[in-house]
């Protein structure tokens, strides 16, 4: 029937109607912007007033045509298994990119609206530490989102392949600096990210850190006014529950604000340092009770683990989290085949412990802002000659270690 509109067509209409009415046609989400549009100059001027940094050249050089992309191997899945992530080659230039393909026909109307929000935010944001979208278009009832290929994958990928028992303090400080810069910008723009975690932190071949996960972003601007709190619970958030703050989880009239992202930063810091996320295998109800009762995760080292437990010679992260005989375990074996020291027989700096403590305050009013935390991390990073770095050095990718050392100098 004529009033039944397919989801791909709905997205096309959304692009046309929304951007014409709101004067935002410069977004070019699906390559429908006519060349030489007279409104471009006006819209670019208004865009510059929103973002202080210069506009990045993202979509202009990548054609919104599926025939221009050679899909290679599948490198991931997500969004309720409706999204396939491919490594691809952009044929005109030979550049490797990442293509996310979402099956729109299998999406509910709520999911389509969710995707529309992501595309809107991706064009509104302009920051060097937020993953840029190269092209976005619809091909054969699929939504294609083209982004730069991140050679080191996500921070979670690094944990799974190189840091099974956690990264060094230096590497974590380097990564979180980039994330906090992105968060500071997002909060300044009036948004809450609501999905900060290691799998949403991407690292490029040149060592730059990017924050992704824009689908969960929520605006705190309503009718031109910034709200003090919001009450919306993140959709499709089952997999992100361990990172969510107590005030988001309890869903009461007090609501939450941008400080909820700071709590997620603290959980992510523990995830990067310990090799696993706190509350990982805990039932949702128990997790909520633990957080509401003030249970605070911590960094696992000699100051937080009883001495008798440190005599264990196997990796706690592999033993307790089903990782088996991991790379981490194999890397701590001595030459005679016996296990070496416990992987958590280490000591993080007091500054790093304080940083995590600031982030994980039960009362959000007591948490620092992203900009303050960004500056506090400058004091957490040990020197390249630190015993922490020497201990973890053989397990760190050489190029990544070099970037960390350059950053700290």
pLDDT at 7: 60
pLDDT at 52: 37
Interacting residues of 352 by C-beta distance below 8 A, sequence separation 6+: 169, 172, 173, 269, 273, 299, 380
Band of the pLDDT at 47, cuts 50, 70, 90? very low
Band of the pLDDT at 310, cuts 50, 70, 90? confident
Q: Does 155-408 carry CATH code 1.10.150.120? A: no
Interacting residues of 87 by C-beta distance below 8 A, sequence separation 6+: 72, 73, 74, 75, 96, 98, 149
Distance between the two ends of the chain, CA-based, in angstroms? 66
Residues paired with residue 101 on neighbouring β-strands, in sequence order: 84, 144
Residues paired with residue 87 on neighbouring β-strands, in sequence order: 98
Band of the pLDDT at 339, cuts 50, 70, 90? low
DSSP string, 388-406: HHHHHGGGS-HHHHHHHHH
**Domain boundaries, given as residue ranges, for the chain:** 7-36+50-148, 155-408
Q: Average pLDDT, stretch 153-165?
A: 93
Compute the distance between CA of residue 214 and CA of residue 149 in angstroms, rounded to an integer.
Answer: 17
Q: Average pLDDT, stretch 112-127?
A: 92
Q: Average pLDDT, stretch 98-115?
A: 93
Band of the pLDDT at 399, cuts 50, 70, 90? low
pLDDT at 309: 84
Q: Would you identify the CATH topology of the domain 7-36+50-148?
A: Phosphorylase Kinase; domain 1 (3.30.200)
pLDDT at 61: 81
pLDDT at 340: 63
Compute the distance between CA of residue 399 and CA of residue 402 in angstroms, rounded to an integer.
Answer: 5
Identify the residue with better confidence: 117 or 24: 117
Compute the distance between CA of residue 145 and CA of residue 136 in angstroms, rounded to an integer.
Answer: 5
Q: Are strands 142-148 and 95-103 parallel, antiparallel or unpaired?
A: antiparallel
Compute the distance between CA of residue 292 and CA of residue 9 in angstroms, rounded to an integer.
Answer: 44
- Check whether 284 has a pLDDT greater than 60: yes
pLDDT at 235: 82
Report phi then psi at 44, rounded to 5.
-65, -35
Q: Average pLDDT, stretch 182-188?
A: 97
Other Cβ atoms less than 10 A from the Cβ of 2: the count is 4
Compute the distance between CA of residue 265 and CA of residue 257 in angstroms, rounded to an integer.
Answer: 14
| Coil vs helix vs strand at 96 | strand
Band of the pLDDT at 232, cuts 50, 70, 90? very high
pLDDT at 236: 76
pLDDT by residue (tens digit) across 244-276?
Answer: 999 999 999 999 999 999 999 999 999 999 999
- Most distant CA pair in the chain: distance in Å? 75
pTM of the model: 0.78
């Amino acid at each position: 029937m004529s009033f039944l509109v397919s989801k791909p067509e709905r997205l096309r209409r959304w692009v046309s109607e929304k951007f014409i009415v709101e004067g935002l046609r410069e977004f070019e989400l699906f390559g429908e912007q006519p060349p030489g549009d007279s409104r471009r100059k006006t819209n670019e001027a208004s865009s510059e007033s929103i973002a202080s940094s210069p506009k990045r050249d993202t979509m202009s050089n990548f054609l919104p045509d599926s025939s221009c992309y050679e899909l290679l191997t599948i490198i991931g899945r997500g969004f309720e298994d409706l999204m396939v992530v491919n490594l691809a080659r952009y044929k005109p230039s030979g550049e490797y990119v990442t293509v996310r393909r979402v099956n729109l026909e299998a999406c509910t109307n709520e999911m389509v609206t969710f995707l529309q929000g992501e595309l809107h935010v991706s064009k509104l944001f302009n920051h060097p530490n937020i993953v840029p979208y190269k092209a976005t278009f619809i091909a054969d009832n699929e939504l294609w989102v083209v982004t730069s290929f991140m050679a080191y994958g996500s921070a979670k990928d690094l944990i799974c392949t190189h840091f099974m028992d956690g990264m060094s303090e230096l590497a974590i400080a380097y990564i979180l600096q980039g994330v906090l810069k992105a968060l500071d910008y997002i909060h300044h723009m009036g948004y809450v990210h609501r999905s900060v975690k290691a799998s949403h932190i991407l690292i490029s071949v040149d060592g730059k850190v990017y924050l992704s996960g824009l689908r969960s972003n929520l605006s705190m601007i309503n009718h031109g006014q910034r709200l003090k709190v919001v009450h919306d619970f993140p959709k499709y958030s089952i997999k992100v529950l361990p990172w969510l703050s107590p005030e988001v989880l309890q869903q009461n009239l007090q609501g939450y604000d941008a400080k909820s992202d700071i709590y997620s930063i603290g959980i992510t810091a523990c995830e990067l340092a310990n090799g696993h996320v706190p509350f990982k295998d805990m039932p949702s109800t128990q997790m909520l009770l633990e957080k509401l009762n003030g249970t605070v995760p911590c960094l696992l080292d000699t100051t937080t683990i009883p001495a008798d437990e440190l005599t264990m010679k196997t990796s706690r992260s592999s033993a307790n989290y089903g990782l088996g005989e991991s790379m981490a375990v194999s890397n701590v074996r001595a030459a005679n085949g016996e296990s070496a020291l416990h992987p958590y027989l280490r000591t993080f700096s007091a500054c790093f412990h304080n940083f995590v403590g600031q982030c994980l305050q039960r009362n959000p009013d007591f948490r620092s802002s992203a900009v303050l935390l960004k500056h506090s991390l400058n004091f957490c990073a040990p020197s390249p000659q630190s015993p922490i770095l020497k201990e973890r050095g053989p397990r760190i990718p050489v190029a990544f270690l070099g970037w960390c050392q350059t950053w700290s100098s």
